[in-house]
Chains A and B, each alone.
Chain A
Amino acid sequence: MHLVTADILILGAGGAGLRAAIAAAQAAPDMSIALVSKVYPMRSHTVAAEGGSAGVVQAHDSFASHFDDTVSGGDWLCEQDVVEYFVSHCPAEMVQLEHWGCPWSRKADGHINVRAFGGMKIERTWFAADRSGFHILHTLFQTSTKYPAIKRFDEYFCVDLLVADGRVQGAVALSLSTGDFTAITARAVIIATGGAGRVFRQNTNGGIVTGDGMAMAYRHGVPLRDMEFVQYHPTCMPGTGILFTEGCRGEGGFLLNKDGYRYLQDYGLGPAGAVPRLKAMELGPRDRLSQAFWHEEQKGNTVSTPQGAAVLLDLRHLGRAKLLERLPLICELAEHFMGIDPVTQPIPVRPAVHYTMGGILVDIETKAPLAGLFAAGECSSVGIHGANRLGSNSLAELSVFGRVAGEQAALFAGNAPPPDSRSLGALADSIAAEAVALRQQAGDGEQHAVIRREMTETMEKGCGIYRQGDQMQATCDRLAELKSRYRRISLADKSRVWNTDWTAALELGFQLDIAQAMAASALARRESRGAHQRLDGFEQRDDVHYLCHSLAHFRPQGPPEISYAPVTITRSPPGVRAYGALGQQAEQAAKESSHA
């Protein structure tokens, strides 16, 4: 066991972790910061975000408008005080990234440009072509190398937190290249390990998006909030689930069914205009668009592909020049992966799991209810996404709350006593021994790959775009069975160096806990809201009983316990969530009633 002492430990070096590291290094230059990641930072999944990041910048836009879009987009399950803080801090964070070199796309006059995005009433999405996340991640990684206080542990796989005396005091990580363990003690720990979309079969996520940090906090008693809300992105590659950015529609792309008809007008999003209208049709929110796909499939209006049903993303009318300028990655993906030239052919697409709205419960200062623990980015639930995240709010979130986490952790670490390395050493040894035991155990011969496949299939079946009680119950039961089989798996590979058989098994352990939290939270919510839509008698939103957050509490034996907590509402009481012409009517009515 190697021992490392740091003031602040950050788990995960994607956008949120890097932003936190830089903020901590700036806030407390004398503190040591350990930045642990199971991949080199530039491989983190922030890299795959395409469309852009929100921040109010136009003269006719306002924080109030960004707030309203976010809160109604989240079907009123957002923490409104947190959303207020968020929207008012997005623009400065976007400028900060610009000052660090992020190559944002520009207007002719040299100012940054913004594009339209789903569910946003005014264009406020900053973008770097269609590689926005890639550029943000590389900008943050490269900028982080300026700060000698940040010591990276690249390709270190974290297996557990060190929790003693009622507070988190570090973590234990496995070096992939050696198979050795390192205990890193710290006064404050930030989890920034991203989402958990890989618990589903068809998803847009990289292989590393396995919910590790969420599961670690959860196992130590930190509740996971709003886990039933899992976002399906409506335009993904059938089969692999690879993403075609919402920017395609922001730039004017259409969604067509097999008859070439813009079917979204049949689902309360119309009327269909020739040019994109904000908060209507193709620029509606992701939950509504994915639900419309489901209905079209039921009606037999989809096209069939070797990988299942699809609708068509039509970009042809945008023309070659605009496609190559604004959507070069999309053109490359369509051509290389599907043999389709978007200039001349529409792209078959379908919904796939994209984003985990819920996560580690934290407050507006990113503090979790475990002393010394902070969380930021997709792994956290700070409260801005509610029941459905709007596109371009997640890159903004990791910037705004990554910074907050870094600053708050530095503040906390400055006042916290140092960890007791001696007692933590024994704890670290037992954590490492448990991980090694999984590698060495004889088991009953079953391989974890089989369990993983069954987990992703049952999650898709029970917790998909539309849900029913009996199917969710079946998924809960299946997950319990898979968990007991998991305890008896056998690894073929007993070696230490780069044993990815072992790390994938450890990841599956995390994933099963996250999947259980999602399925149990979904089963317990007997209403339909945002991305959680039921077909079994609970088709309506029920503000009387369910205008509240779910909290999933880990139990070592048996399914999680679900409790509820109130939603903070400051200035937007729950209203009608409507888009297209209906949305305009609803806004008009709200305006008139507030003047009355």
Chain B
Amino acid sequence: MVKTVPQRVRGGAQPPRTREGPSVAVRAGRWVRRHRVAPYLLLLPSLALVAVLILWPTVQIGTFSFQNYGLDQLVGASPTQWVGFANYWQILHDPEFWLSLKLSVFSAAAMVPLTLVVGTLVGLLLARLGRKMAAFVSSVAMLAWATPAVSASVIFVWLATPDGGVIDWFLTKVPHWLGGGAHWAGFSWVNAALPAYTLATALVVWTSFPFIAVSVLAGLRTIPSELFDSARVDGAGPWQVFWRVTYPVMRPIFQVLFLLSVIWDFGVFTQVYIIIGELGQRDEYNLGIYEYSTAFQTPPAYGLASALAFVLTVILLIITVGYVRASVREGALL
């Protein structure tokens, strides 16, 4: 009785409290504010998912690549053993690895410049078109971008089919001096690496040029027109205007678009998987497909595949570092 009196005085007209004081929610709120943990709490769900489903698997790939992880280890029939660099050693002496790496490098070397050139040209065109026409062309182009990779790949295989495909039909109609002719009738585009990757390149350019074009257009809109005016007054033609004005000003944009294209095109999977007809033709594998088939074709060799995956990841990470540096330098993190 005596003890409660001063409390009542201090509490004044407050409603009677339970012995624990303020509710759990209120106390938690105070704790959050006092220790400034609010941002960390907000980040927690995303961080947990990314950690469990992206970061941890990456670590696992690294671990598996030093183990003899196979079907027996997957089902627990025999224990996982560390094998040191044996998987990497095997890769280095594997002609199929070098072939797949070569195909990845060469196809990216064809896809990236073509995508950038086509995308930039369309972007420059969009900047010169009237408002309505530009909106129409860019919407149509973005439809190609939004077309699912699986659909796009199946469509391109159909366009290139030897029986009834419209590409072979078109090539037979092209005059001889342009490389067309009757010998294109029934030409198979998927049975050898060079034509298959030519088709894949056409497909990748079709899918990804709209994004480049829209980005270039957005960049062009930031250049003050006075720059073009003065260049033209000085007698510069369109070619010179591009290389002397547009390109230097938009260099950071082109740099980022280039790095992004390299990352995407070096790791292209779905399109090639469908064009070469799933995992049938081993001499048409690129690095990603070779790694995937090593993991998921019987007998599965998860350890060896992880070593391949690790090589692929490291190559892409090296390019990513350049991309991140370019982004940070341009203030993307602000």
* A complexed with B: no
Q: Which residues of A contact B (CB under 8 A)?
A: none
